[in-house]
Structure 1
Amino acid sequence: MRHIVLSLCIGLGLCGPALSETVGRFGVSASLPEGYEIGPRPGNDDGRAYFYPDGAEIRLWGGWVMEPLAVERANRRGYYLQDGAEITYDAAGADWFVLSGYAGETIFYLRVEADRTCGGEEALAYLEIRYPEAQRARYDPLIAGIARSLGFGPC
Structure 2
Amino acid sequence: MQRRSSFLAFVTAIAATSAVAAPFTYVNERFGTVCTFPDDVFTDRQPEPDNGDGQVWLTADGASLICSGILNIDDETPKGFVAAEKASDEAGYKITYSKAGRNWAVLSGLKDGKIFYERRLFGGDGVIRTVRVDYPPTLKSKYDPLVGAIAGSLKGP
Fold conserved between structures, TM > 0.5: yes
CA RMSD in angstroms comes to 2.1
* TM superposition score normalised by structure 2: 0.78
User: Aligned partners of 2:53, 2:137: CA distance in 1, in Å?
Assistant: 28
Cα contact 1:110–1:129 (8 A) shared by 2 = yes
> What is the match of residue 24 of structure 2?
19
Matches within 5 A, 1:38-117: 38-66=45-73, 67-69=75-77, 70-78=79-87, 81-116=89-124
Residue 115 (structure 1) shift:
2.1
Q: Structure 1, unaligned stretches of length 5 or more? A: 1-5
The partner residue of 1:136 within 116, 140, 143 is: 140
CA shift in 2, pair 1:94/1:88, >3 Å: same
* TM superposition score normalised by structure 1: 0.79
Computing the radius of gyration over CA atoms, which structure comes out larger, 1 or 2? 1
Following TM superposition, the consecutive aligned residue runs of length 4 or more in structure 1 with deviations greater than 2 angstroms are 70-79
Q: Structure 2, unaligned stretches of length 5 or more? A: 1-14
> What is the match of residue 9 of structure 2?
none
Cα contact 2:85–2:95 (8 A) shared by 1 = no
Q: Deviations over 1:40-95 (max 9, x none)?
A: 1111110110111111000011011222313333344455x414211110111111
User: Aligned partners of 1:24, 1:89: CA distance in 2, in Å?
Assistant: 31
Which one-letter code corresponds to 1:88 in the other structure?
T
User: Aligned partners of 1:24, 1:42: CA distance in 2, in Å?
Assistant: 12
Point out the more displaced range, 83-92 or 50-59.
Answer: 83-92
User: Aligned partners of 2:127, 2:105: CA distance in 1, in Å?
Assistant: 14
Which structure is higher in strand share? 1
- How many pairs align? 138
